[in-house]
């Protein structure tokens, strides 16, 4: 906890020093200013694009249809053309499967001259609706603003299993190559439709999409002018290993069992294994959250059922002192000594037997009580034991050579038997056909060297829920500390991070998780106006008639539409001392 607090404080000093240095002749004024995009006219008929588009390389357009005005990703969107296709189709010589990079491009009839690459999440494998929606309950999309938007499956066509990792090329497509292949093709396609290439190009996504974004910021900095990296799991293989480490921690305090199929020495049998979801009950996690809130609520200057100064909370809150220790049975009002040890270990971060860190630490934050699919319990217990997430991804995509048994592989036994001394290093390994390690093809080549992006006048805007249970917010802070160090102490001229207290993985939790990051980025890239804060709102009961846009985890003590400023790290939103505590206008971003 102490080290986390120190990194925030030290960085605040660095940022302050850098401000004065920049005032003497550095920062924004020394970087190129990109010009604004200008609109273009849609030419021809959508129905004929499948046959009329040429010069797209090894690409086949399979359909082109007109989509009438209406809701797309729950946002009102004007009429546009939807083009679907695939490129680089092949049959794998390794697993015999057919692979291609599938995509869709949505082309507004009223185009604003911009291109947006929508980087999708998870292990990809499906073409998400190409709208460019971000934030918990999107209030806008790139498509609704007039961008031409592309979405892809990143080079494989199955979303529920990670078995594509057996094919070496599919690994590379998923890691970085699909973006490199699709981007020039999409720009040529756009030129064929509008008569000109995009004036400005943007790429954004959350989770694995945030990882794609940071990879693009380094590998493809010459192709993009603005990058949005949400919950950027840029060390995704390490994070997956940390999830497996967590499973082994939870198993030590699990009270229930689950029946599953396991294979050992070639023999498959049904076994009872620890049910890690019983390690901490929802009531216990809510209690832990309440203890954090009681200790840290007022640290931002307002007692408002919200912890705005998460950095200060790391020093104020103590698992040992602030959480009651059970003296009898578990009743939800306390944790056992063993549970407190596990909770501490999980936040300190994954280690091997010698104590070496395998991934970053996690901050303590009130969003630990999150119960949605993006919440703490879902990621720590369910996703960390399922074939389609961390165990399967580690076994088939991130390990070299990969597992090959796709028939009887099950996630929980793999996680419980994972060896952090001998198995974890395999994410850095190469082997035979697998000439790039997972930590090569999945991560930015040199994450703190974004000089090409910077020197073009391009910008990076990152956001991250502080209660993200799978991709540590601390890891993103580490990245931005590195960016600062690589840029004479201050990278804010081209790269800014916006923490979201209470927010879980990309959305949810007791948080203001509805916001627009696209418009501030465009203003920064094309007008040189850097975002000093971003307005965010809660989306509690009654704020929208569309149930999918309601966050049931908004505390009842809040106004359902509470607003707060998202502040550029290391600043935090502090109450001004007067006015409505549910209104962002009464908070200011300060160190």
Query: Distance between CA atoms of 16 and 19, rounded to whole angstroms?
Result: 5
Predicted confidence (pLDDT) at residue 24 exceeds the cutoff of 80: no
CA distances to 120, 293, 586, 591 from 302, rounded to whole Å, are 37, 12, 10, 16
Predicted confidence (pLDDT) at residue 569 exceeds the cutoff of 50: yes
108-130 as b/e, with b when 16 or more CB fall inside 10 Å? Answer: beebbbbbbbbbbbbbbbbbbbb
Query: Distance between CA atoms of 177 and 201, rounded to whole angstroms?
Result: 18
Mean pLDDT of the region 234-263: 94
Closest CA to 130 of 112, 144, 118: 118
Res 30: pLDDT? 85
| Residue 386 three-state SS | coil
Out of 11, 152, 201, 207, which one is annotated catalytic?
207
Closest CA to 402 of 420, 413, 412, 414: 414
Residue 29: pLDDT band (50, 70, 90) is low
pLDDT in tens, 149-172: 999 999 999 988 999 999 999 999
**In sequence order, what DSSP letters do the residues of 161-204 get, joined into one string?**
--GGGGSHHHHHIIIIIHHHHHHHHHHHHHHHHHSS--SEEEEE
Percent residues over pLDDT 70 in the chain:
95
With a CB cutoff of 8 Å and minimum separation 6, the contacts of 417 are none
With a CB cutoff of 8 Å and minimum separation 6, the contacts of 193 are 42, 43, 44, 49, 53, 81, 107, 148
pTM of the model: 0.94
Predicted confidence (pLDDT) at residue 5 exceeds the cutoff of 80: no
- Dihedral angle sign, alpha carbons of residues 328, 334, 340, 342: positive
Predicted confidence (pLDDT) at residue 22 exceeds the cutoff of 70: no
Query: Distance between CA atoms of 433 and 426, rounded to whole angstroms?
Result: 15
Helices assigned H by DSSP within 252-331? 282-296, 310-316, 319-322
Q: Could you tell me the two tokens for 6?
A: 């120190």
Residue 265: pLDDT band (50, 70, 90) is low
Res 584: pLDDT? 98
Closest CA to 183 of 201, 159, 165, 199: 201
Predicted confidence (pLDDT) at residue 532 exceeds the cutoff of 60: yes
Mean pLDDT of the region 61-83: 96
User: How many Cα neighbours within 13 Å face the side chain of 314?
Assistant: 21
With a CB cutoff of 8 Å and minimum separation 6, the contacts of 76 are 69, 70, 144
Lowest mean pLDDT among 253-267, 308-322, 577-591: 253-267
The secondary element (H helix, E strand) that includes residue 65 is strand 59-67
Higher pLDDT pick, 580 / 29: 580
Residue 371: pLDDT band (50, 70, 90) is confident
Out of 360, 467, 505, 537, which one is annotated catalytic?
505
**In sequence order, what DSSP letters do the residues of 391-446 get, joined into one string?**
HHHIIIIISSSPP---SS--HHHHHHH--TTTTGGGGG--BTTB-S-HHHHSS-SS
Say how far residue 355 (Cα) sits from the centre of its chain: 27
Annotation says 505 is catalytic: yes
Q: Could you tell me the two tokens for 591?
A: 């160190």
Tell me which DSSP letter residue 240 carries: H
Annotation says 468 is catalytic: yes
| Residue 512 three-state SS | coil
Residue 28: pLDDT band (50, 70, 90) is low
Lowest mean pLDDT among 101-105, 200-204, 404-408: 404-408
pLDDT in tens, 421-471: 999 999 999 999 999 999 999 999 999 999 999 999 999 999 999 999 999
Annotation says 464 is catalytic: no
Predicted confidence (pLDDT) at residue 16 exceeds the cutoff of 50: no
Res 556: pLDDT? 95
Res 101: pLDDT? 98
The secondary element (H helix, E strand) that includes residue 244 is helix 236-251
Query: Distance between CA atoms of 335 and 346, rounded to whole angstroms?
Result: 15
Mean pLDDT of the region 214-218: 98
Res 4: pLDDT? 40
Predicted confidence (pLDDT) at residue 65 exceeds the cutoff of 80: yes
User: How many Cα neighbours within 13 Å face the side chain of 65?
Assistant: 8
Residue 14: pLDDT band (50, 70, 90) is very low
Predicted confidence (pLDDT) at residue 13 exceeds the cutoff of 50: no
User: How many Cα neighbours within 13 Å face the side chain of 126?
Assistant: 8
With a CB cutoff of 8 Å and minimum separation 6, the contacts of 555 are 305, 306, 510
Query: Distance between CA atoms of 520 and 524, rounded to whole angstroms?
Result: 6
Count CB-CB contacts under 10 A for residue 549: 16
Out of 300, 468, 513, 582, which one is annotated catalytic?
468
Query: Distance between CA atoms of 134 and 128, rounded to whole angstroms?
Result: 13
Average pLDDT, the chain: 93
């Amino acid at each position: 906890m102490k080290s986390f607090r120190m990194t925030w404080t030290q960085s605040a000093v660095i940022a302050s020093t850098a401000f004065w240095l920049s005032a003497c002749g550095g920062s924004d004024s020394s970087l190129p200013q990109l010009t604004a995009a200008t609109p273009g006219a849609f030419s021809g008929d959508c129905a004929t694009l499948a046959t009329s588009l040429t010069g797209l390389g090894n690409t086949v357009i399979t359909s082109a249809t007109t989509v009438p005005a209406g809701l797309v990703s729950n946002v009102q969107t004007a009429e546009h053309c939807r083009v679907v296709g695939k490129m680089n189709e092949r049959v794998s010589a390794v697993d015999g499967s057919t692979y291609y990079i599938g995509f869709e491009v949505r082309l507004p009839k009223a185009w604003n001259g911009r291109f947006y690459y929508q980087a999708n999440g998870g292990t990809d494998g499906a073409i998400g609706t190409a709208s460019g929606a971000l934030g918990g309950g999107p209030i806008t999309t790139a498509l609704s603003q007039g961008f031409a938007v592309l979405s892809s499956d990143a080079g494989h066509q199955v979303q529920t299993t990670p078995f594509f990792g057996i094919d070496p090329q599919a690994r590379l497509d998923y890691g970085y190559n699909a973006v490199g292949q699709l981007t020039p093709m999409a720009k040529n396609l756009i030129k064929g439709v509008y008569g000109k290439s995009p004036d400005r190009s943007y790429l954004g996504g959350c989770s694995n999409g945030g990882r794609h974004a940071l990879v693009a910021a380094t590998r493809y900095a010459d192709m993009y002018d603005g990058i949005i990296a949400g919950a950027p799991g840029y060390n995704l293989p390490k994070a997956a290993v940390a999830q497996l480490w967590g499973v082994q921690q939870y198993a030590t305090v699990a009270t229930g069992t689950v029946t599953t199929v396991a294979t050992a020495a070639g023999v498959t049998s049904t076994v009872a294994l620890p049910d890690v979801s019983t390690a901490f009950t929802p009531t216990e996690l809510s209690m832990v959250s309440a203890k954090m809130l009681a200790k840290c609520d007022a640290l931002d200057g307002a007692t408002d059922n919200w912890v705005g100064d998460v950095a200060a909370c790391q020093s104020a809150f103590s698992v040992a002192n602030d959480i009651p220790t059970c003296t009898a049975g578990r009743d939800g009002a306390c944790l056992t000594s063993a549970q407190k040890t596990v909770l501490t270990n999980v936040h300190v971060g994954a280690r091997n037997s010698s104590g070496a860190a395998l991934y970053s630490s996690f901050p303590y934050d009130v969003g630990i009580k999150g119960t949605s699919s993006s919440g703490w319990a879902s990621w720590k217990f369910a996703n960390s034991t399922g074939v389609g997430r961390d165990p399967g991804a580690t076994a088939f995509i991130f390990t070299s050579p990969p597992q090959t048994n796709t028939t009887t592989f099950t996630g929980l036994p793999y996680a419980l038997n994972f060896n952090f001394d001998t198995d974890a290093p395999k994410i850095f390994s190469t082997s035979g056909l697998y000439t790039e390690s997972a930590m090569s093809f999945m991560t930015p080549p040199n994450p703190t060297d974004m000089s090409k992006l910077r020197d073009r006048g391009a910008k990076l805007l990152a956001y991250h829920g502080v209660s993200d249970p799978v991709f540590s917010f601390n890891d993103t802070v580490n990245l931005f500390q590195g960016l600062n160090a690589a840029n004479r102490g201050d990278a804010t001229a081209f790269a800014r991070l916006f923490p979201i207290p209470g927010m879980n993985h990309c959305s949810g939790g007791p948080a203001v998780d509805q916001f627009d990051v696209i418009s501030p980025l465009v203003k920064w890239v094309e007008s040189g106006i850097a975002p000093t804060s971003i307005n965010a709102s809660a989306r509690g009961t009654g704020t929208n008639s569309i149930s999918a846009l309601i966050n049931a985890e908004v505390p009842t003590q809040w106004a359902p539409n509470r607003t707060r400023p998202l502040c550029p790290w290391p600043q935090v939103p502090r109450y001004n001392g007067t006015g409505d505590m549910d209104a962002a206008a009464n908070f200011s971003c300060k160190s």
